[in-house]
Each structure stands twice: as C-alpha cells, then as structure tokens.
Amino acid sequence: MLTLPVFEWVRPQSLDEALAFFTQAPAESLWIAGGTDAVPNLKHRLHEPKRVISLAGVRELHYVREDDAGMHLGALLTLRELSEHARVRAEYPALAKAASLVASPQIRNMGTLGGNLCLDTRCTYYNQSYFWREALGFCLKKDGTKCHVVPQGKRCVAAHSSDVAPVLIALGAEVEIATPPAQAGGAASLRRIAVDTFFVGDGVHNNVLLPGELVTRLIIPAASRGLSAGYQKLRPRGAIDFPMLSVAAAGRTQAGAFTQLRIVVSALGAKPRVLGQLDALAVGKAADEAQFSAIAAAAYKQCHPLINVPYDHEWRHEMVPVFVKRVLRDAFPKG
Amino acid sequence: MSEPKEPNAPIDAAKSVTEGRRPETVHSDSGRKPEMVVPKGRIMPREDRLAPPAWEGGRSVAPNADGFSTIGKRNRKVEGLAKVTGRAVYADDITLPRMLHAKLLRSIHAHARIVSIDASAALAMPGVHAVITGKDLPVYFGIIPWTEDEQALCETKARYVGDAIAAVAADSELIAEEALRCIRVQYEVLPAVIDIDSALEHPEWQVNEKAETGNISKQVRLEFGAVDAALANSDEVVEGHYWYEGSTHAPIEPHCCVAEFDATGFLTVHSSTQVAHYLHRDLAKVLGLPTQRVRVIQPTVGGAFGGKSEPFSLEFCAAKLAMITGRPVKILYTREEVFYAHRGRHPMRLHYRTGISKDGMLTGTDAKVQIDGGAYSSFGLVTTYYSGQLLGAPYVLPTYRFDSTRVFTNKPCCGPKRGHGSVQPRFAFECQIDKLAERIGMDPIAVRRKNLIGESTRTVNGMRVTSNGFPQCLDAVEKASGWKDKFRRLPYGCGIGVAGSMYISGTNYCIYPNEMPQSAVQLKLDRSGRATVFSGCSDIGQGVDSVLAYIVCEELGLTLRDVRVVAADTDLTPVDLGSYSSRETFMVGNACLDAARHLREKIAATLAERWQCGKGEVVLANGVACCTSEPREKAMTVREAFQLAEAKHGTLGSVGWYQSPKLGGDYRGGTIGASPAYSFTAHVAEVECDPETGQVRVCDIWVAHDCGRALNPVTVEGQMEGSAYMGFAEAILETMEYKAAAPGHAFGLHHGPSLLDYRLPTSLDTPRLHSIIIESVDPEGPYGAKEAGEGPLHPSVPAIANAIHDALGIRCDALPFSPPSVLGMLRIGDARAAWEAARAGFHKTGAR
C-alpha cells in the first residue's frame, strides 16, 4: 500500500479554531474535509504539509438554510447529503445531479461540497506516485519545471475536475470565503464573490483562495429561483471517474424563446469555461433543436480539450457539441 | 532461446477415439518444418507413466447407488464465511514478532545499464537494517526451465520502467521508502523499444540478452494440412487484421509475502501465490538452499487470475533479507508495483486469412501472429504455441497454419492471464467466422453448427477430444437470447452477436520434465468422524478447497462441516503443480476422488461384512451409513462406521494422485494445448450503441458452458460470470498504454498504474450475465467434471465485436472497442450502408 507521510493532525471544533490553527503555520498546513482527494494526493506526495487540519469537527459549516436571500449551503455538507436533500432536489435538481455523479457512494459519503469546489486540478502527468513522477522528470505543477502537456507552456493546464462547480456557476451562485484574522485574537472576516470569479486559469492553484482562507458557504441567490438547469458528465464508466468533459446549463424561456442562458463547460483546462456569445446566439431565439445545434456549434469552437485528461482529446472535442445539446434538451425539454 | 529439453510427445494415431468428420493427416512430411521434427534426447513422456485406478462403472458416476448427495448441490464454499466475516488470513494479515518491512527500488528508465549503486547513505539511516542489490541474488530463474532469463534484482541493466534493482529492509515501510530515495544509482540510459515494430526494427537494441537473436523471444511455425490449396479452392476467403490490446489481472489483493529464516537455517515463506510448488523450487535454487530446508505456505489469496503463477522479485528479496537480518521480513506491493510485476494478457497483432465453402464448411486458416512479450520470457514460450494451438477449436478446421513470433520490449513482462494465449486468436477466429457467414449469407450460429468437431475425436493438430457439449451450448444461447427474433432484426444501434470456444482442463505435462504425479491428495480419517484432506492445490478464490471437501463428503457420507482442507503448504501437503491452466478441479479432483474412494471401499467392505449384504448396498450419505435393503435396521452414524473400519484395518489414511494420459500431437510443441478434457462455451452478447458518441453498452451476455458436471452449480456460475465480465472488460475498457516519448520525458511509463486510471468496469457498467450450465459428463473427469474458470472468458470479446457489427455495420477488429474508435469507424466510409447491406443480404438468403 502507498504510505502516508508523517504530519501533525489537528481537529478543531469551530471555524475560529480552525483558522487559528492555520495561521500558526500558514505555509505548512493543509485543510482536509472529506479527504477523498487530499489523502490520495498525500500518498502521492503531491501535498507535503507538516500539519493537516481536519474540518470534520466544524459542525457550524454543515447545513442547508433558505431565506429571502436564497439557498445557503454549508461547505461541509457531504455530496451525498447535497444530492439527496429534498429542497435542493426540488429547487436545483441539476446541482443534486452533479453531486450524485461524483465518484462512488463511499466517496460521496465522505466528500464535501466545499471540498469538491476546491478540488485540486488533475492531470495524467501529475496525479501519479512520487516514483512515477520521478521517472517522468516531474512537472511544473509539482517538483519540476516542465509541462508535459504543453511542452513550451509556462502555465499549468491541469484540468479543473469539480462536478459541482459548473452547475454553481451556471446558477449564478456565490461563494463565501473566511479569511483568518490579521493577528491572533482578532476576528475572522468573511467575503463573498461569484463562483464564476472564484477560479483562475492556473492549474498549480486554480482559485483565488489565499493561504489560510477557507470556503465556508455557497449561496444560490433568490434571483436564481426557477432557473431551468441541467448537467451532463462524460466519463468512461458509470461511476468512479472524474469528468472527461462536463457541461452545465441554466436559463429561462418565455413563450418558447430564451430570455436568459448560461452554459459552463469544464475538464478542459484549469478553470471552467463560461461559453461566450450566448446573448447573441440564444436570447430572444427559440429554445428548439435548431438553436441547440447552433449553440453547440459555437461551443465546439470555443472549447479545446487537452491531452492530460483520459481518452483521445479530439474525440472529447467532438463530444462538446453532443453534450451541449444533451444538456439543453435536459434543461429545456419542451424545446 | 535454446530449448534443448523442450518436452515432446510423439503419439500414435488415436486408437480409442474415432477420427473427425473429415479425416486428415496431422501434417504432410513434405511440408514438415525443422521446428516440427521431434528432437533426440526426449525424456518424456514415457509410455509406462502412471495411470490412475479404474473404478467399476467409471469415475463419472455417484458412489451411492441412489445418486449424489453433495455433488451437484448448491453448497457453500468452505472458506466463504471466513471471507465475508473478515476472518480469512491473507498474506498481509500475517505479522510476526520483530518483523521488518522491505521495499524495492525500481528503475526510472525503460532501458538502462546499471553503472553503479551506492547504498551507503541508505544503510546509515536509523531504522534501516539491510540493503541488497542484484549482486546478492545473481541466480537466474524463470517459470519455464528453458527460458530462465530473470533475476530477482537486475544486476547489469534494467529493462523497463519499474524493473526492480535493489531492496531495503527497515523498521517500517515509510523508513524503507525514504531509504530508497537515498540510494544513488548511476545509469547509462540505453535506447528502448516499446512496441512490436520497434523491437523488430532494432535488433541491436536488445532488451533481453538471453534472446538468441535480436529481440525475438520465441518463434513457432506449424502447419497442418495443405492450407494454401484449401484456401485457393474456397468459395470465399476473408482476410482480417486484428489487434488484441494487452490487459492486466488486477486482483484485489496485491502481491505480498512474509519470509522468516530460523536459527536452524530453515526458510519459511508465506506468499500470495498460485504456484507454491514452483515457488518452492525456485526459492531453493536462487537462495542456494536445499529444497528440504524451504517451506512455502500459501495463505488465503485475494484473486490471482494467472498473475501470481510464477515467482516474483518480492519473494526472493524478502527471503534474502530475512536470511541477512535474521528477522522476519514482509513485502507488500503497492498497486503500482502490481502493474510492474504484471504478467498479464499479451498484446497480439493477428493477420488471418480464412476460407469457407458456399455451403458453410470451413476450409482452412493462414494465421500470422506477432506477440508483444515485454521484457522477460515468463510463460512466453507456451504463450507462443497457444497463439495457434487451439485456433480452430471447437470447429473442424481441416487445414491451418500459424506463424507466431513473440518479441521482447522494454515494458513489464506479459504472461498468463485467464485464457492464456488463446483468448486473442479466439477473438480473431470468431470474428472471421462472422464475416464469412455474412459473405455466404448464412446465420452465424448455423455456420458454427455446420462445422462442429463432435465427441470422441481428434483435431487436425492432434488434440484428443472426449466429451463435447458445444452443440447444446449453441442451442442454449440461441434460445435464451431470442436470437432468431433479434439477429439482423434489431433497430439501428442495437445488435446481437455470437461466438464459441473450447478450452483445456489442465495441460498434460508438468512445466519441468518429470514423470511424477501432477496432483496429489492425502486423506486422513479420524475416529471422531472427521476427515482432513491434505493437498498442495491452490485455492485462489475459484473454490478448489471446496471441491475437495465436496468430493470427500460424497464418497464418505460426511457433511461439509466435518471436513477440513489443509492446502498449499509444502511442509504439510503433497505436491500439486498449482492453480493454472484450469487444472485443479479436474486433476486434484480426480486425486481426491481416488483417495476417498479407497477409504470408502474399506468402510463399505467392513459394513457389508457386518450387515451381511453386498458392498453395493452400503450407502454413506449426510453423516449416516446404512444398507439400502434394510435401512432402518442396518444403519449407524458415519463416525461409528469409521471406528469399525479403523478397528478392522488400522489407522485410516489414503493417498490419491493424478497423472494425465499421454496426449498431444507428434511434433515439437504438440503437447501444448493437449489436455485430458476440454470445456466448451458459447456466448451471445446483446449491445446498445450510441452512434453520436461511439459508446457501446453491453446489455446482456448469455453464457452457456459445458463444464462436464457441475460439482457445485453456484461456483461454476460464479466462474462463468466472472469470466464473461473479464472478457467484456477487455473488449470495452481495459488498455495497457505506455506514455510515448515527448519533449522533456522518456517513454515507457505506464499511463496510469492505478485502479483509477486503469479502468475496470464497475457493477453499473456490467451487463446482465445469464449463465446456463451444460453437463456433458466427461468420462475422465471427477464425476465427469471439466474446467469452468477460463473457458467462459474466450467468447466474450468476439461475441461483443460481432454484436457491434449487427448494431452499426462496423467491424471492431482492434481492442478496446472504445467510444473514440467506434465513432471513428462510423465516420469511415458509409457504415450505415454496410449495416443495411448486412441485413438485406441476410434476409434475401432466407436466413439459412
């Protein structure tokens, strides 16, 4: 069996305590929620922290609440809870579906919403053992200087692989981030940004979180109520696999014509891609097969899968329009 | 590689069997190649080799006059409860006092000379006890005695990424791992070859210096009958190029062993192996110990599928480190290391030309096969023969030729995986039949029925066939699948396909030449009413321990809880060659039947004398002994019967052994593929394809398998389902890809040596599997049983390929049938027109 490295394990009981633990040694600490991604990465020596801070005891981040502002989802909800929650399923079935398509039942029992959002990017040259990466000559995401996907590339293109993120972006969700206090004894500060702006195009660290910061909540604003949404995931098997391609869509129609549409495609590069030109392509146009095809054709032009995700990248490119059409049919079944 | 002592089996024309429907000479002398001449100095087999005892009424009948009491019943496996309650002890569950943990240092280059190894820094680390390198274990070994080309640790050069070059024993795995990183290896990187073509193009880049020339591991050319004339006179000839992708066994339990070396110089190795006997021999040889000072124990094994059927680096290294440190040493491979140990399915490139007459009679096949062997020989010599020896079966193929070449490449070594060497040619041949059937406008099941070899016959390459339930297998899958309503009748995207196969129940000779039994059992009866079976046989999950228990219960009237099986411990159990070639049920089953029957005879005689009745009237069943004529008056417990017999005959014990009859064709390699009995299988697969993505969903596979007699239908069905699943997995998902060279990194890295990246189907992906047992009752099997563990895999892949053709009009000639490849084929030419033409052609001829 692969060994775990030696590290200190702490299990705070509150958010404040958790942030304080991190502040003590910000460069050498690692958050861990469900551990379904972090533990294999530790075994592969992709993370080499001195301290691992388990969030399992922070019960205050474990809830589903609704108010006038919208639906509030605690970051430590498990993916299973999210996929089975009656209110989530009623209001945002595409989000429940995305959560239900992560990995396997065992992993959904452990994995969390916040963890899936912050999932480390993936690459066939990166998610490997230390021995394998040594034989490769390492890569610029970890221990090395070269990219094996884009040989002259200076920026890591490891793939964003979260299932929940594309749906959250399509739904216009916001993420709440806790920042540790500037000095000991101070109060943590909270900020909110759109999930759309949470990700950055750098596979080494593909989100805006600074060391010590923590995702505490996802908010689907009241304005998103009633959106028609869908999620489609391309993967080799009926379980376990990370997406080879994922597509989320959310929008509204009136009298059979789009009034609003957002489509998010992922597993392409370090951040999810929000399709452009949809205002021109969709809004005011009929939500029918012909228009779905036109949108799909635009998606094909905008999305360029890379070789660092399993299966032939040209085939995955061809699957972009197929899956865009499928997700549109799911979200707008009446066409 | 030289093969001075390769076994050969000259055999007289069959005396006890009738010739096939179209008798042919095995091969004409004029066409005989040097390869096929029987060399001098042959040391086996002997005419007067051991023969098992003949029992009155044969060995396929029940011992009790009123039929079977245990055999054929849906019984538990004897170890089942221990497994499901977590009590079974696997190798990694063994922890001994003062035990150290060892790890292997592996090559980061696909091909490199080892210039120097400096382990001083590692040895200086606290908690590190010993470091060994190739110099400490220089003796070559190999499962096939004439191709010993491996060392436990590479001494002069590494031949693939992951080849083992040093080992460290330390207080913990973590310390051992850290110590590995402190070992300085100076490599001289050599040019590497990672595919068949580059291996042949660059003989000067020799992977394995034990090869006679370049990168050739083994070449076999065999020809039976006048192939060229037969093909020239055929009404239709189909030419096909096939690619069979490599795959690995992926047992749930990684390789693991624990070695201890005691103060008297006695070595004990507990190992997750399926060949305790061969491991025993090679440990003694490599470590320089007398064989009687070595003990091998096989604990519960968590799956093997052929992947544990030879010795591996870990066993030699753990033993050597135990000898050096005087402390027990455990080595547990990581999943990644299991991929490097490999020995899985050989990738094969097959080029076939096959002929048929208008009325559906197969005429001949010309096959050229190239085999990618990886860095070492393993069973490769045998694999190369298997790539053609079962080619035509289960059909009459009056003429054929195969020309097979196995090459060495800088990759983990291939070896035997479930259906060793014959799954790949089966795929090619069954697809060829499908194409030929389409050419002549005949139903593919009808074509197969036209060419049945039948019972008590001999194939053109000299294989003796006894029982044969293949016609019933075809009937069963045709009916159960609703074939007649579906073939060429389902809507576009949906399809159905058929394929057949025949497989060995054990090979007829031991891997190293000798005339001793291949399987043996010692049986001890106790006056408490308990029986203990001792056998060297290897249960790797398939259930051979249970088979022994069922046989003892059947013969001696015991219930399952009163039988204990002690197996695969070279100190305690008589030699059995191990769990490979689907040999255990047939061979050790026969040995056990004989041992138990000997004791039964004594007990029955004792009771007959006491009850003044005939021996045939004595029944032993379910814990009770009685006389059939007066069952109420003349009855006692089996325990009492044992006590009476013990009082009369002395302590009750017996032995049984199995040795196969002399079998095979009269030519070099003619013993390979020769088996005392053959199983038969037919599959029908039904698929639903998505023409938009190329994704193929296999919905159903109907599996009819002739296992002779099902000793326990549950375990037979388990083997049938597991086999069909494994074939389906190879057809649709599994690949052994290696990273190609690219700027910045070398090639030869396995693309993803983990169970995340090496995609085995999950339960959600698995088709509905319908098992139909066909019982032909073999005259030589124990109660008529034959194998069930490997045969049912073979037709999976071609049946799915043929179903995809029925669904989409494309021919999947290269594995795996992945969405990109299927979609790619749909784009070439007009696949839809081919699909329409296939159905129109079929319906026009009135579905003959």
Q: How far is A117 from chain B (nearest CA, A)?
A: 20
Q: What residues of chain A lie within 8 A of the CB of B745, using their CB?
A: 136-137, 146, 148
In a domain, B2, yes or no: no
- Same-domain status, A193 and A232: no
In a domain, B491, yes or no: yes
- Same-domain status, B654 and B628: yes
The per-residue pLDDT for A151 is 85
- Same-domain status, B81 and B95: no
Distance of CA B608 to the CA centre of its chain: 44
**Whole-model pTM?**
0.95
Residue A131 touches chain B, beta carbons under 8 Å: yes
- Same-domain status, A319 and A182: no
Range scoring the smallest mean pLDDT among A21-35, B88-102, B245-259, B386-400: A21-35
In a domain, B371, yes or no: no
In a domain, B610, yes or no: yes
- Same-domain status, A256 and A107: no
- Same-domain status, B825 and B692: yes
CATH number at residue A46: 3.30.465.10
In a domain, A133, yes or no: no
Q: How does residue B256 score in pLDDT terms, banded at 50, 70 and 90? A: very high
CATH number at residue A244: 3.30.390.50
Q: Around Cβ B314, how many Cβ atoms within 10 Å?
A: 29
Percent of chain B with pLDDT over 70: 93
Give the end of a domain, one of A198, A225, A252.
A225
| Whole-angstrom distance, CA of residue A79 vs CA of residue A114 | 9
- Same-domain status, B151 and B294: yes
In a domain, B136, yes or no: yes
Q: Could you give the ipTM of this predicted complex?
A: 0.96
| Whole-angstrom distance, CA of residue A114 vs CA of residue A63 | 12
Which of B177, B753, B756 is closest, CB to CB, to A132? B753
Mean pLDDT calculated for residue range B570-591: 98
The per-residue pLDDT for B17 is 34
Burial of B671 (0-12, 13-18, 19+ CB in 10 A): buried
Secondary structure letter of residue B666 according to DSSP: S
Residue A56 touches chain B, beta carbons under 8 Å: no
Query: Which amino acid makes up residue A22?
Result: F
Above 80 in pLDDT, residue B9?
Answer: no
- Same-domain status, A219 and A231: no
**Chain pair A-B, CB pairs under 8 angstroms:** 87
Asked if the Cβ–Cβ distance from B749 to A148 is below 8 Å, we say no
- Same-domain status, B147 and B275: yes
Helix or strand or coil: residue B730?
helix
Q: How far is B98 from chain A (nearest CA, A)?
A: 20
Q: What is the pLDDT of residues B355-395, one digit of tens each?
A: 999 999 999 999 999 999 999 999 999 999 999 999 998 99
- Same-domain status, B630 and B698: no
Q: What residues of chain B lie within 8 A of the CB of A312, using their CB?
A: 820
Q: How many domains does chain B have?
A: 3
| Whole-angstrom distance, CA of residue A101 vs CA of residue B260 | 47
In a domain, A139, yes or no: no
Asked if the Cβ–Cβ distance from A318 to B823 is below 8 Å, we say yes
Closest residue in B to A148 (Cα) is B744
- Same-domain status, A279 and A203: no
Closest residue in A to B750 (Cα) is A132
- Greater model confidence, B842 or B523: B523
Q: How does residue B784 score in pLDDT terms, banded at 50, 70 and 90? A: very high
Q: What is the pLDDT of residues A57-71, one digit of tens each?
A: 999 999 999 999 999
Q: What residues of chain B lie within 8 A of the CB of A234, using their CB?
A: 693
Query: Which amino acid makes up residue B461?
Result: N
CATH number at residue B494: 3.30.365.10
- Same-domain status, A173 and A87: yes
Range scoring the smallest mean pLDDT among A23-27, B420-424, B661-665: A23-27
A83-122 residues touching B, CB cutoff 8 A? 104
Above 90 in pLDDT, residue B266?
Answer: yes
- Angle made by CA atoms A173, A178, A180, in degrees to the nearest 5: 165
Asked if the Cβ–Cβ distance from A311 to B820 is below 8 Å, we say yes
- Same-domain status, A213 and A302: no
CATH number at residue B175: 3.90.1170.50
- Angle made by CA atoms B662, B577, B44, in degrees to the nearest 5: 30
Range of the domain at A270: 227-335
Residue A154 touches chain B, beta carbons under 8 Å: no
The per-residue pLDDT for A272 is 98
Range of the domain at B836: 438-509+666-844
| Whole-angstrom distance, CA of residue B626 vs CA of residue B619 | 5
Q: How does residue B164 score in pLDDT terms, banded at 50, 70 and 90? A: very high
Range scoring the smallest mean pLDDT among A287-301, B25-39, B479-493, B747-761: B25-39
Mean pLDDT calculated for residue range B273-298: 98
Asked if the Cβ–Cβ distance from B332 to A5 is below 8 Å, we say no
Asked if the Cβ–Cβ distance from B106 to A240 is below 8 Å, we say no
Above 70 in pLDDT, residue B13?
Answer: no
Above 90 in pLDDT, residue B49?
Answer: no
- Same-domain status, B654 and B784: no
The per-residue pLDDT for B61 is 96
Q: How far is A243 from chain B (nearest CA, A)?
A: 12
In a domain, A153, yes or no: no
Give the end of a domain, one of A197, A225, A253.
A225
Q: How far is A312 from chain B (nearest CA, A)?
A: 7
Asked if the Cβ–Cβ distance from A1 to B334 is below 8 Å, we say yes
Cα Rg for chain A, rounded, in angstroms? 20
Length of chain B: 848
Above 50 in pLDDT, residue B752?
Answer: yes
Give the end of a domain, one of B623, B658, B693.
B658
- Same-domain status, A266 and A200: no
- Same-domain status, A241 and A197: no
- Same-domain status, A31 and A70: yes
Q: How does residue B1 score in pLDDT terms, banded at 50, 70 and 90? A: very low
Above 90 in pLDDT, residue B34?
Answer: no
Helix or strand or coil: residue A171?
coil
- Same-domain status, B336 and B449: no
Q: What is the pLDDT of residues B520-544, one digit of tens each?
A: 999 999 999 999 999 999 999 999 9
Query: Under a CB-based contact definition with an 8 Å cutoff, are residues B775 and B674 in contact?
Result: no
| Whole-angstrom distance, CA of residue B296 vs CA of residue B276 | 6
| Whole-angstrom distance, CA of residue B417 vs CA of residue B342 | 10
Instruction: Name the one residue in this structure whose structure tokens are 């696909």.
Output: B110
In a domain, A52, yes or no: yes
Q: How far is A61 from chain B (nearest CA, A)?
A: 30
Residues of B with CB under 8 A from a CB of A: 106, 108-109, 161, 173-174, 177, 254, 332, 334-336, 692-694, 733, 739, 742-746, 749-754, 756-757, 759, 761-762, 764-765, 818-820, 823-824
Q: What is the pLDDT of residues B658-705, one digit of tens each?
A: 999 989 998 999 999 999 999 999 999 999 999 999 999 999 999 999
Q: What is the pLDDT of residues A192-216, one digit of tens each?
A: 999 999 999 999 999 999 999 999 9
In a domain, B527, yes or no: yes
Give the end of a domain, one of A177, A199, A225.
A225
In a domain, B721, yes or no: yes
In a domain, A329, yes or no: yes
The per-residue pLDDT for A23 is 87
Q: How does residue B8 score in pLDDT terms, banded at 50, 70 and 90? A: very low
Average pLDDT along chain B: 93
Q: What is the pLDDT of residues B294-332, one digit of tens each?
A: 999 999 999 999 999 999 999 999 999 999 999 999 999
Mapped to the 3 state alphabet, what secondary structure does B511-568 carry? CCCCCCCCEEEEEEECCCCCEEEEECCCCCCCCHHHHHHHHHHHHHCCCHHHEEEEEC
Q: How far is B692 from chain A (nearest CA, A)?
A: 7
Q: How many domains does chain A have?
A: 2
In a domain, B367, yes or no: no
- Same-domain status, B546 and B652: yes
In a domain, A134, yes or no: no
Q: For the residues of A49-91, what is the DSSP string, one character each?
A: -SEEEE-TT-GGG--EEEETTEEEEETT-BHHHHHH-HHHHHH
- Same-domain status, B650 and B732: no
The per-residue pLDDT for A1 is 84
- Same-domain status, B694 and B838: yes
Asked if the Cβ–Cβ distance from B745 to A3 is below 8 Å, we say no
- Same-domain status, A245 and A221: no
Above 50 in pLDDT, residue B473?
Answer: yes
- Please, which residues have CB within 8 angstroms of residue A220's CB and are 6 or more apart in sequence? A70, A71, A73, A91, A92, A95, A168, A171, A172, A173
Asked if the Cβ–Cβ distance from B759 to A128 is below 8 Å, we say no
Q: How does residue A24 score in pLDDT terms, banded at 50, 70 and 90? A: confident
The per-residue pLDDT for A181 is 87
- Same-domain status, B560 and B468: no
- Same-domain status, A164 and A235: no
- Greater model confidence, B154 or B845: B154
In a domain, A136, yes or no: no
